[in-house]
Amino acid sequence: MSDIADEAGASRQSVYRFFEDRSSLIQYILNKRISLMGEALRSVFNTYTSLREAIVEGSLASLTIGQSDELYLEIISHNTDHGLELFLYRGTKEIHQIMMEIWGPLLDRARASGELRRDLTNSQIVDWIRHVHASLAIRDDLDAAAQRKMLEDFLLPSVQHCAGPG
């Protein structure tokens, strides 16, 4: 907190007036960074025409944007606070809303075309997507090909409608 106060040209006490502890500050920063990334992804997501393209290519685009944000990467790579993982998996109302705005139209089209499971709401699917993205963001041992494979073999089949036997 002292380093942050020094960098901001403020006293440590001033920083504590806004943030209860380091964890609160980190979560605030991540919420803002993720929201900015979401805004940057809006135009990209408008180009996808299929569920598969949105789930795989959209997820990879999301991960690429996260990997190019130095502050976001620094925080998730070096933070040993278990609260960070909880934050990435739980998200915030703001992050959920941005994801719903980005993913919602794609999910609605996929549902209308019969590609999407009917028993899942958009909100549930967005939660699943966020969880998979959090896992992929935290894991530094997966390259783009391994990330793509997880999206194609795990996330996509979990939300796709399948006709079933018969």
Domain spans, the chain: 29-159
C-alpha angle 34-40-44 in degrees, rounded to nearest 5: 125
Q: Which CATH number describes the domain made up of 29-159? A: 1.10.357
pLDDT at 100: 95
pLDDT at 166: 41
Q: What is the DSSP string of 32-82?
A: HHHHHHHHHHHHHHTT--SHHIIIIIIHHHHHHHHHH-HHHHHHHHH---H
Q: Report d(CA 127, CA 164) in Å as an integer.
A: 25
pLDDT at 163: 60
pLDDT at 80: 65
Q: Give the chain's residues under pLDDT 50.
A: 166
Q: What is the pTM of this model?
A: 0.75
Structure tokens at 153: 């073999």
pLDDT at 81: 65
